[in-house]
A and B are shown apart, each in its own frame.
Chain A
Amino acid sequence: MAGDAGSIPDLDQEKYDADEQVKIICLGDSAVGKSKLMERFLMDEYRPQQLSTYALTLYKHTATVGNKTVVVDFWDTAGQERFQSMHPSYYHKAHGCIMVFDVQRKITYKNLANWYKELREYRPEIPCCVVANKIDADLKVTQKSFNFGKKQGLPFYFVSAADGTNVVKMFRDMIKRAVDYKQNPSDFMDEVMQELENFELEKKEDSSEAAKDGLTESPELV
C-alpha cells in the first residue's frame, strides 16, 4: 500500500516515520505564491532541492518546538493539472498542510474546495490551514471574511510573501500543529499502521527470544 503512494524513487519517505521528522505540504493553484511564501519564511537558510520531474521543490528546515529539535521537510508542489498523478505522493505521510490562494484571483479561492477534498481523501485528519496571500496588493481585502476556512474549521491567515505580513507566524503555527499531530495522530490509518508495526516488532522480539533459547551450546550472558 505504502509502496504505491510514495512512488518517488529519488526520495525516501520512510524517514517521515521517525519522531524528529515532519513533512508539511504546501498546496494551491499555480502562481498563488507558494514558493515565495517558503522563501520568505526560510530566507536563505537552505538551497531547496528541485525535483523538476515530479514538479516538486523540497525545503529543509530545523525548528525548535518546546525543547525538541525537529527537522521539517516542506513539500512545495505544483498546481498545474498535468502533475495530477503526482498528488498521492505529495499527501503520503504528510503531517500538515498549508493551502494557499491568491486574493487577487477568485478562481484560486474557488479551487480550494477541490484541493481540500482531495487532501481529505488521503489524509482525513492532518492539521491544515487556509492562507490568503498577496494582501499587499490591496489591504482592503483584509476587511472581508472568507468563509471557506471557517466552514471547514481551519485556521485562516491573511499574509503577504512580499512584505512578510504573518508569514512567519503562519509557518510556526503549522509546524507546531504538525508536530502535535505526529505525537498524537488521530488518523485511523496511522493508528492501524502503528499497531501493525508494533505487532511486527513484538513478533520479531518473540522469535529472537525463541532462537536464543534454542541455542543450547551458547553460554549464558550475565
Chain B
Amino acid sequence: MSFEAKRCGVQFNPPSIILIYEEKDSRKVRKRIIPVRNFSKYSDCGMAAERLKSHSRHKEYLDGVSQSQLERLHIILRDHMRGHSLEHSLASFHLNPDEDLNKLDDDELARKKGQMDKLFERNRRRKDDPDFIYEVEVDFTKAGQEKCSWDEESDDGF
C-alpha cells in the first residue's frame, strides 16, 4: 500500500505529529496521529526527527515528508514545552537574506531552512509526477549577460 502525504502539523496536547495523507489505492484521505514519545524541552529536534522518519511503523507514511519539516515541527513542540507561543516559533523561522547562516547552531539553522523549504516544495518536481524528467538541461549561456551587481565591490578578489 502506498501513501501520499498531503499536510503535516502538530498537536500540543498530547505532543503529536499530525499527518493528513491519501491512500493511493483507495484514494481515501485519512488522518494519522503520531504521538511524539521520549521528547522533552531538552531534546534534540534533529535527532527526534531522524528517529521518527525511520520509525518502522510510521516511515511509509512519512516518506513524502522531509526530515527538515519534521525537525521544524519538533521545534514548535519543544518551544511550546519551553513556554514559547506559536507566534514566537513561527517568527523565529523568518529569514533575513543578509544574515550569515554559517554562524547559527543546528536548531536556529533548521528554523531558517524551514522558510526556504516552502519555496523548494512549491517548485519541486517529484519523481512520481507524470511529467517528471530526470535529466533537465537548459542552456543559459545565450541569455543576455547583464552584469551582476554582486560583482561590483571588487575589493575581495571578485
Contacts and interface: CB of A to CB of B under 8 A. Distances in A.
A113 B158 contact: yes
Overall SS of chain A's interface? mixed
Contacts of B113: 31
Contact of B123 (A105, A107, A162, A169): A162
Query: Contact size class for B?
Result: 35 or more
A146 interface: yes
B86 to A, nearest CB: 23
B133 A164 contact: yes
Interface in A97-122: 104-107, 109-111, 113
Given A43-B127, A142-B140, A143-B146, A30 B134 contact: no
A92 to B, nearest CB: 21
B102 A104 contact: no
Contacts of A110: 150, 156, 158
B136 A163 contact: yes
Contacts of B138: 158, 165-166
Contacts of A151: 157-158
A81 interface: yes
B87 interface: no
Contact of A113 (B136, B145, B157): B157
